[in-house]
Amino acid sequence: MAQRSPDVVKKMADLLRAGATMLSERCPVCGLPLFRLRSGEVVCPVHGRVYIVRDESEVSRVTVQGVLEELEKVVATRISESLEAAKRGEPRARELSEWLDVLERTERILSMIRRAQAQGEVEKSNVENSERGARKRQ
Ligand SMILES: [Zn+2]
């Protein structure tokens, strides 16, 4: 599955020249060896920064969590904007209620993921369902 085009080989050489260390772990996406930069960041020559994960279910969990945490920030901004508009006398009750709804769902899924992480195991189907739900709401 690994693509070893001249570009990738050059990128790997560049990483090594820059003082990066080649790791025994491989990129979960393309299977290329990962590199640890001097900064401590772990990167794939193709995909850039990656999280080291143990198995496939953990890959999707990391992704879902990242998306949801991003969504959480966006929603917080929107709620604060709606609130400001309401203070100026513009009625935004419906919008506010919709964003609060999104926030509630986001928080619920995130707490589910965090709880699963604490327990160290999660049913893969749960994560996949949450992922679909989160995308639909965006
Ligand atoms: Zn990769």
Q: Tell me the per-residue pLDDT of 57-94, one tens digit each, with 9 for 90 and over.
A: 666 666 777 888 888 888 999 999 988 888 898 878 88
Q: What is the pTM of this model?
A: 0.43
87: tokens are 């203070």
Same domain, 60 and 127: yes
Same domain, 64 and 108: yes
Which residues span the domain enclosing 23?
6-49
Same domain, 60 and 107: yes
Ligand 1 center to 29 CA (angstroms): 5
Q: Provide the pLDDT confidence category of residue 103 given band limits of 50, 70 and 90.
A: very high
Ligand 1 center to 27 CA (angstroms): 5
Is there a domain that residue 81 lies in?
yes
Same domain, 65 and 44: no
Does residue 32 contact residue 45 with C-beta atoms inside 8 Å? Answer: yes
d(CA 69, CA 63): 10
Ligand 1 center to 75 CA (angstroms): 31
Same domain, 88 and 34: no
- Count of the separate structural domains present in the chain: 2
What is the pLDDT at residue 124?
46
Same domain, 45 and 69: no
Ligand 1 center to 43 CA (angstroms): 8
d(CA 92, CA 47): 41
Same domain, 61 and 24: no
Ligand 1 center to 107 CA (angstroms): 30
